[in-house]
Amino acid sequence: MKIAICQMNVTEGKELNIKTAERMLREAASNGADMAVLPEMFNCPYDNKYFPEYAESYPGTTTDFLSSIASDLGIYIVGGSIPEKDGESIYNTSYIFGRKGELLGRHRKIHLFDIDVKGKITFKESDVLGRGEDITVFETEFGNVGVAICYDMRFPELIRLMAVEGGAKVVVIPAAFNMTTGPAHWELTARARALDNQVYFVAASPARSMESSYTAYGHSMVTTPWGEVAAEADEKECILYSQIDTDFVDKVRSELPLLAHRRTDLYAIHDKKTGGEY
């Protein structure tokens, strides 16, 4: 599977952001991408004050666009994320569409980004956004793919459930690490989640804009089941391509069977929703 990460510039104009996404998605498809990934909040500046203004119910302008272009191009699209309005609540939500434009899944960000790094960055998503409750994995002809959003990637239990119970061989993370957390933790976390779950880990960032109220780190990347960086962008707008070989996932899991070697008799955590353990 050829995957394309559209590391796009995000502005204050929803229409312009959608046009940028369309341009990059069309270029990705013309270069043979089977799946394209957009970044977190791709249609909206990443700032609490914008989320209510840009929020859409489903179906809406942005999701109609994603469905239509997925069908037009015949590719899978992980639609980054957008502010989703549902009743009185707003969620940070990723919509996933199949080759015929059909909705394959919807992931609402489970872990909200509430941090206070003294003298560097303070952000509290929970002031505006609600929490998701569901683990998201969808099927493709290449194998199962998990989707989570940004801060979710810091929680190994979630990615482990995708791999073990959801059968994911690829995990896609639309994200927007910043200039404090990005240099410190972006590559480290992407490599660790790939390595400890023996999956390809696809982390999609917006391009960096020093004019934004929230400055994204950029450096979208793909890491392998062996914990290596397969492809990495710099901070500028670009499309990052990488080949995903799910046979390599099987090879690594066979030769270094750490998922099979888990001692769940000693440290299993019971999942109330599924009744399973991991």
Closest CA to 97 of 28, 157, 37: 37
From 14, 109, 125, 169, the catalytic residue: 109
Taking the C-alpha atoms of residue 15 and residue 77, their distance in angstroms, rounded to an integer, is 19
* Backbone phi, psi, residue 119, to 5°: 75, 0
Asked if 255 is an active-site residue, the reply is no
Token pair, residue 116, equals 């206070």
Tallying the residues shown for the chain, one arrives at 278
From 56, 84, 85, 150, the catalytic residue: 150
Strand partners, 139: 144
Name every residue whose Cβ is closer than 8 Å to that of residue 173 and which is 6 or more positions away in sequence: 147, 148, 149, 150, 152, 153, 190, 201, 202, 203, 204
Asked if 109 is an active-site residue, the reply is yes
Taking the C-alpha atoms of residue 257 and residue 235, their distance in angstroms, rounded to an integer, is 36
Asked if 251 is an active-site residue, the reply is no
From 6, 40, 44, 125, the catalytic residue: 40
Widest CA span in the chain: 53
Taking the C-alpha atoms of residue 158 and residue 161, their distance in angstroms, rounded to an integer, is 5
What residues act catalytically? 40, 109, 150
